[in-house]
Amino acid sequence: MDEVKAVLADEPQLGRIHLCDSNHIHLTVGPLSITLAPDVFLQIAKMVHQANDELEKIKLLTENESDEEFLLPERFTHSRFTN
């Protein structure tokens, strides 16, 4: 296992992102750990940022609706969004 070169982010009770001495990014959330090349990590970070922007738009569109009336676009089909 490579040594930690730098801690990039650390959120107690959630996870950690660090750079190892072989210049890979290690993303750990709970029991899940993913090792990524820096360019792939940047692509994922961009994708997460885009998803956050979309969620903000959805929140703005539904800010006056109750939780029961909260409707997500049809493209959200994961059980986390539909249950």
Number of structural domains (the chain) is: 2
Output the pLDDT for position 49.
95
Per-residue pLDDT tens digits of the chain, which is 83 residues long: 578 999 999 999 999 999 999 999 999 999 999 999 999 999 999 999 999 999 888 887 777 665 545 555 555 555 554 44
Separation of alpha carbons 69 and 1, rounded Å: 48
Residues constituting the chain: 83
First to last CA, the chain: 39
Domain containing 83 equals: 39-83
- Residue showing tokens 């409707």: 71
26 and 44 share a domain? no
Output the pLDDT for position 62.
74
Q: Considering the entire predicted model, what is its pTM?
A: 0.67
The DSSP symbol for 18 reads E
46 and 17 share a domain? no
Separation of alpha carbons 62 and 18, rounded Å: 36
Name the helix (H) or strand (E) containing 61.
helix 38-61
